[in-house]
Amino acid sequence: MVKRSIRVAGLLGPAVLLAASLGGCGGAQRDNATNTPAQGRGGPLLLVSYSVTKGAYDRILPKFQADWKRRTGEELEVKTSYGGSGSQSRAVIDGLDADLVTLALPADVLKLEKAGLVQPGWEQELPNESNITHSVVTFLTRAGNPKGIRTWADLARPGLGVLTANPKTSGGARWNFLGLWGSVSRTGGTEQAAEAFVAKVYRNVSNLPKDAREASDAFLNRGQADVLLTYENEALLAAKQGTDKATTLVVPALNIRIDGPVAVVDRNVDRKGSRKAAEALATYLQGEEAQEIFAEEGFRPVNAAVWNRRKASFAPVTTLFTASDLGGWPTIDRTFFANGGVWDRLVAARR
């Protein structure tokens, strides 16, 4: 187990200083890596993922390849592609020859399903709705949390500077938006009250970077805003790496469960003859060996046994809601993020 010298604050607990240098799930840059030189049956696998998973896969994939060799006697080449989750899903639709994808939100896999690349029902192919990681939204504040930001409601205080990416272009920003919305709608507030609250928060957002990486840079390196909304796993990983940018991380006890799904790209694996290996990797990602590594990299594991061993490493969340509680991703996209949806109304009101 990785020893951590930090604790993260729950809603009422003490916040702690973190050395934070955050990446994002946005941006279209890709990093292709080959883990072994040999080619297994059906050719090499291509795993397409979002940026912040790279550290975990650098550790997980060699273990999977060794496991595959023990079970089959075959060498298996695994290539990887990293970038913004939305950009990655578009790239696969445009021809990036992925065998499987692990993306920042199920909605990006649903785009592949709509394009005919992934068969309907992919969410039921593995336990936990085919999720391999969870996370929650966190508030990254200036060192010592001088503005006393503890709850979602605090983000609407007049004069507070809030930083988050644009939910039209960033998957992480969509989770942030849903966290804000659900903090009202899941605690007895009406839809009208939720929209009014979210509008107040976004009036405190003066800059909407296109992705989480740009938002992190604006907060950490350019000194913008009092608080950054980000993934828990990114902040924990930054603390583990120990950079020199001291901040304070607050994890609200009311939170949204951020889902990280895996899906085999059916059209591609059937054409390439790589289904067996792709499905084996997808299954392996939910196993204890991979889940332990995900936990060490700051992700909340979906494997129950690993979670029971690791949960003390994560901030307590007393009330956790999900995308399903907000209607599920098709409804969420149509209601909030499609042209003419809630987000567009809020943007129009800001002008």
Structural domain spans, the chain? 16-25+136-257+319-350, 33-133+260-313
What size, in residues, is the chain? 351
Q: Are 16-25+136-257+319-350 and 33-133+260-313 in the same CATH fold?
A: yes
Q: Which CATH number fits domain 33-133+260-313: 3.40.50.720, 1.10.3720.10, 3.10.290.20, 3.40.190.10?
A: 3.40.190.10
**Cα–Cα dist 67/49, whole Å:** 21
**Cα–Cα dist 10/7, whole Å:** 9
Is the pLDDT score of 21 beyond 80? no
* Second CATH level (architecture) for the domain 16-25+136-257+319-350: 3-Layer(aba) Sandwich (3.40)
Helices (H), the chain: 54-72, 85-93, 106-114, 171-185, 191-203, 212-220, 232-241, 266-272, 275-284, 288-296, 304-310, 329-332, 342-350
Is the pLDDT score of 74 beyond 50? yes
Is the CB of residue 91 less than 8 Å from the CB of residue 106? no
Is the CB of residue 233 less than 8 Å from the CB of residue 298? yes
The predicted pLDDT at position 149 comes to 97
Is the CB of residue 314 less than 8 Å from the CB of residue 135? no
Taking the model in full, what pTM does it have? 0.84
The predicted pLDDT at position 241 comes to 63
The predicted pLDDT at position 257 comes to 97
**Cα–Cα dist 114/19, whole Å:** 41
* CB neighbour class for 344 (10 Å; exposed up to 12, middle 13-18, buried from 19): middle
Distance (Å) of CA 191 to CA 114, 198, 334, 337 = 29, 11, 15, 16
**Cα–Cα dist 347/166, whole Å:** 10
Question: In degrees, to the nearest 5, what angle opens at C-alpha 163 toward C-alphas 161 and 168?
Answer: 135
Q: How confident is the model at residue 51 (pLDDT cuts 50, 70, 90)?
A: confident
The predicted pLDDT at position 41 comes to 52
Is the pLDDT score of 27 beyond 60? no
Q: How confident is the model at residue 238 (pLDDT cuts 50, 70, 90)?
A: low
The two beta strands, 254-256 and 319-321, are parallel
Q: How confident is the model at residue 114 (pLDDT cuts 50, 70, 90)?
A: very high
The predicted pLDDT at position 17 comes to 33
Is the pLDDT score of 150 beyond 60? yes
Q: What is the pLDDT of residues 185-237, one digit of tens each?
A: 999 999 999 999 999 999 999 899 987 778 888 998 899 999 999 989 877 87
Is the pLDDT score of 47 beyond 60? yes
Is the CB of residue 227 less than 8 Å from the CB of residue 139? yes
The predicted pLDDT at position 205 comes to 96
What angle separates helix 106-114 from helix 171-185, to the nearest 10 degrees? Answer: 120
Q: How confident is the model at residue 245 (pLDDT cuts 50, 70, 90)?
A: low
Instruction: Indicate the average pLDDT of the chain.
Output: 86
